[in-house]
Amino acid sequence: MDFELTDDQTMLVDMAKRMSNDSIQPILDREPTDKPLNRAAMLEIYTHLAEFGVTSARLAESDGGSGLSLLDYGLIMEQLPPVVALSLLSHDGSTVRFNAGADEALRSEYLDEFIAGRKIVCTANSEPNAGSDSNAVSTRLEVDGEKAFITGKKMWITNASICDCMIVSCSTGKDDRGRPIPQRVMVDLSKSDVGLSETALNGLKQGHLCEVTFDRTEVPLKNIIGEPGDAGKYMTIVWNANRPLIGLMALSIAQRAYDMALEHANDRHQFGSSLASRQLIQQDLSDMQAKLISSRLTCLMALASLDKGARSNGLSAMAKRLATEAAVEIINSAMHICGGMGISEELGLAQLWADARVFQVPDGTQGILALIHGRDLTGQAAWR
């Protein structure tokens, strides 16, 4: 066990940090900070991500991807602006889901475009009555001759308003237990009519979250991916990696808040000395750093475990829950330390709190993650 980065990892982190600071952040800075980035800006960002080789980070080299280890991918994700990292997570994970089951003709038509970042892809899974319970998907896929039709509504879909294609989770009917039989279908928005409605959030305001409506949306039969019933398997494979990666994104926001609080505590003087000299402030800072380090190491451990081929459902769920909860608590503590400045727009800690809070929702809420971890601990599911 070695907690030091290798020379290659150190170089990778430095390169990712430079790309983020020199190429991506300036794009975010020139656009309005209170509304979703326009598609042109996102495609410009994806050009930089593709040049760096992370638009298909989890795709094997034999399939044209980067084949990065998840641990290395996590080290890169920490350096990216969180709103970009979340978009990339959707695109990269959706590319994996697409590649696992698409026939050769479909892969030839789209995969290189996804890898190059010329086309953005997302996954449409959650529904009004199927969020944490992904087995309750009711969006229907009907096959009629040489055509297929999708009917239903999706919500909380990352990248939907700026994507070119969606991997949509549908139901082809019921199994012998009355549960939906999930099926993946790729929808090309340039060829199929889809309704889109942006969902406004308090955090990550430059990001994209949408409701998606399919009203007997026609798709070619060739766009049906994989076998009936295998959609859940590939959702879980991607989710297990996504969860600790999301944890690291939230912690990168918390690290900024901690740095602000530490600087303020050293600079601000009360009762004749700096805040940093006060015992309670030192305890707060100690607790904040302890949460940062312990939850970050848990996320990295989960990624390393997945790299070794372990199932890691419970560990990944625990990592995201621990990290996103710690991030929110750390930023809240930073706001306390900074007093009046902590609630000012000038310092921006309140916005960081709202940004970090968003990460407690995607790929499993806190309660669901606890139950997934609990199932691994006890061998007993708390549902069904």
Tens of pLDDT, residue by residue over 163-179, are: 999 999 999 888 878 78
Among candidate residues 234, 222, 231, 226, the one with its CA nearest the CA of residue 109? 222
Residue-by-residue pLDDT tens, the chain, 384 positions: 778 999 999 999 999 999 999 999 999 999 999 999 999 999 999 999 999 999 999 999 999 999 999 999 999 999 999 999 999 999 999 999 999 989 999 999 999 999 999 999 999 999 988 777 767 789 999 998 888 999 999 999 999 999 999 999 999 888 878 788 889 999 999 999 999 999 999 999 999 999 999 999 999 999 999 888 777 777 888 889 999 999 999 999 999 999 999 999 998 888 888 888 888 899 999 999 999 999 999 999 999 999 999 989 999 999 999 999 999 999 999 999 999 889 998 899 999 999 999 999 999 899 999 999 999 999 998 876
Q: How far is CA 342 from the centre of its chain?
A: 27
* C-alpha atoms less than 13 angstroms from C-alpha of 254 in its C-beta half-sphere: 32
How do 147-158 and 140-144 pair as beta strands?
antiparallel
The reported pTM is 0.94
What is the predicted pLDDT for the residue at 271? 85
> What is the CB neighbour count within 10 angstroms for residue 237?
16
196 and 159 Cβ atoms separated by less than 8 Å: no
For domain 7-115, the CATH architecture is: Orthogonal Bundle (1.10)
E runs forming strands in 33-175: 121-124, 140-144, 147-158, 165-174
Residue ranges of domains in the chain:
7-115, 121-227, 233-378
Q: Are strands 224-225 and 180-188 parallel, antiparallel or unpaired?
A: antiparallel
Q: How far apart are CA 293 and CA 275, in angstroms?
A: 23
Separation between Cα atoms, residue 381 and residue 371, nearest integer Å: 8
Burial of 234 (0-12, 13-18, 19+ CB in 10 A): buried
For domain 121-227, is the CATH number 3.30.70.260? no
pLDDT score of 207: 97
Alpha-carbon distance 345 to 295, whole Å? Answer: 28
Tokens describing residue 230: 């295998």
**Cβ contacts of 303 within 8 Å, gap of 6 or more:** 69, 70, 71, 73, 74, 241, 244, 245
Q: What is the mean pLDDT of the chain?
A: 93
> Do 7-115 and 121-227 show the same overall fold?
no
DSSP state of 183: E
**Domain 233-378 belongs to what topology?**
Butyryl-CoA Dehydrogenase, subunit A; domain 3 (1.20.140)
The token duo for 343 is 């609630």
Which DSSP string corresponds to 148-179?
Answer: EEEEEEEEEEETGGG-SEEEEEEEEEE-TTS-
CA distances from 298 to 195, 196, 245, 302 (A): 40, 37, 11, 6
Q: Using one digit for the tens of pLDDT, what is the confidence trace for 129-157? A: 877 776 778 999 999 888 899 999 999 99
- What six digits make up the tokens of 304? 């390393």
Beta-strand (E) ranges in the chain? 121-124, 140-144, 147-158, 165-174, 180-188, 195-198, 209-220, 224-225, 269-270, 273-274
End-to-end CA distance of the chain: 39
